[in-house]
Structure 1
Amino acid sequence: MNVNVRAAVLDAGRALGVPEPVTETFVRLLRPCLYLCPYDELPEELRKDARPAARAVGYPHLPEDVEVPAYVPHVVTIDCAALPAGVLDIDFPTDGHLVILAEITDQDEGFIIHLPAGTETIERRSQSKHHEAFPLYAVPGMTRPAFLRWSHVAEAADYAEEDTERARLVAKLVDEMGEIPGIRWRYDIQLGGYSRAWHNPVEQRGKVLFASIPESETFGDGCITLISGTRGQIAERRYDELDFDVES
């Protein structure tokens, strides 16, 4: 748990007069993630000696014997060893490279390929290419459930039972959690954490988020592709079984 985020949530609860044990229940609901963002979006304190953790768009680098449809473009290649260690609560590779190819505008189709360290690759110029490649950098973050309802949290429901003012304070705390910088949704590639789906969070289907990828080379608003699966599929690297869902 990010200490600064935890402290910020507890401070928000104290300011509202919500008992700390109730606030702690919301803290325990948070899940960590990693954002992959361009250098100019990096927090100032992370810029010194920043090391690229991924390469976005451009042509993929793949082994000659790996076959993927030529029309599916390269989205991102992640340098797994360059990601901050011990952040994610899903079993993400810690070595080699993870290549993601997908049509992230309107098709639920994609490929995830893990290349162990030292794998020989070539640039696949036969692959569809949308933009010139650029580096991305890793930023640790924290996420809350997409549709968090305080009434579904037992401790909060007990505290606010039949008390309009307490209910208002707890609802205000939930709103303020979403404004804390470490929790606020960023329009970048996201690894792990809760999905930020507008209609159908993957968690409602018993899945966990592996990655989410917003549309456009600058990863701004528009469609978002959610890649998800079970914890077992992710841990066992059965990436061919993961779901690709496009929301708009």
Structure 2
Amino acid sequence: MLPEERKQGARVVGRAAGSARLPQGMEAPEGLPHVLTLDCAAIPTGVLDIEFPADGRLLVFGEISDYPGEGTILHLPPEAEVEEAERSGIHEPFPLYAVPGTTAPGLSDWSHVAEAVDYAEGDAERTRLVKRLIEEIDRILDARWTQDIQLGGHSRAWQNPVEDRGDVLFLRIPESAVSDGDNYLTLIAGRREQIAERRYDELEFEVEL
């Protein structure tokens, strides 16, 4: 959950858990709970590293507590009139807030950064400064809300980063951010063109424990 002090000035962009809101006559995917709904028009512009719809609603249904993971993503046009689905949600709904941030792969091993190695050049003081800089960057990126839902950015996967196979992160959903369940982590990812062309049915749901 977003710390109270961060909610000031943050905009509500959707909701997590609860029942899905779907057009009349449309049924939720069988066996997949509603995970979250995003109001696409409410997402801040110019901050994402992926193509994202400018309007409408994005609904995510998925099994986020069972390996290997399964899910469905729906994009509803802005003119779609929706109503509460008959099937109740597993958990009480709560709002989602937009907080722009920065993500990056781990920087702990500075010796893998050619520029840092060239700068240090065996000098003890320069080596100390480089290590201190890396520590400060890690501290800045390690924000208190890093276990919340993430749209785009670096996957920061616990075991298998999607970037290692050439994919791009679409959504990162820790189970603990949606329910009081175990520490499962769901990564939804695919190729950049799949995301840009809204071929959401081709994206992969992967669960890590």
Q: TM-score per shorter chain, which class?
A: 0.7 to 0.9
Asked if 1:133 corresponds to 2:104, the answer is: no
Cα RMSD (Å) of the superposition? 2.4
Query: What is aligned with 2:167?
Result: 207
Query: Aligned to 2:71, which of 89, 110, 113?
Result: 110
5 Å matches for 1:129-208? 129-146=89-106, 149-180=109-140, 184=143, 186-208=146-168
Amino acid at match of 1:172: R
Contact 1:72 1:103 in 2 (8 A): yes
**One of 71, 77, 85 as aligned partner of 2:31:** 71
Tell me, which stretches of 5 or more residues in structure 2 are unaligned?
A: none
Runs of 4+ in 1 over 4 A off after TM superposition: 64-68, 218-221
Q: Taking structure 1 as reference, are residues 42 and 234 closer, same or farther at Cα in structure 2, changes over 3 Å only?
A: farther
Distance in 1 (CA, whole Å) between partners of 2:131 and 2:202 is: 38
Identity %: 56
Partner SS state of residue 189, structure 2: strand
Q: Match of 2:186, as an amino acid? A: T
Secondary structure of the residue that 2:116 maps to in structure 1?
A: helix
Q: TM-score, normalised on structure 2?
A: 0.86
Deviation at 1:94, TM superposition (A): 1.7
How far off is 1:123 after superposition?
2.0
Matches within 5 A, 1:26-37: 37=1
Instruction: Tell me the secondary structure at the aligned position of residue 143 of structure 1.
Output: coil
Q: Which runs of 5+ in 1 are unaligned?
A: 1-36
State the distance in 2 between where 1:231 and 1:203 align.
11
Aligned twin of 2:184? 223
Decide whether the 8 Å contact of 2:186 with 2:205 is kept in 1: yes
User: What letter matches 2:78 in structure 1?
Assistant: A
Q: Which has the larger share of helix?
A: 1
Give the length in aligned residue pairs. 206
1:226 CA drift (Å): 0.8
Q: 2:138, 2:180 → 1: CA distance?
A: 20
CA distance in structure 2 between the aligned counterparts of 1:240 and 1:67, rounded to whole angstroms: 17
TM-score (norm 1): 0.74
Instruction: Please tell me the residue identity of whatever aligns with 1:59.
Output: S
List per-residue Cα deviations over 1:51-107 (Å, max 9, x = no partner).
421111001112346555322111110011111111112111121111011111114
Tell me if structure 1 keeps the 8 A contact 2:168–2:192: yes
Question: Partner amino acid for 1:110?
Answer: G
CA contact (8 A) 1:144 1:183 kept: no
Residues 188 and 220, structure 1, Cα contact 8 Å, conserved in 2: no
Shift of 1:158: 1.9
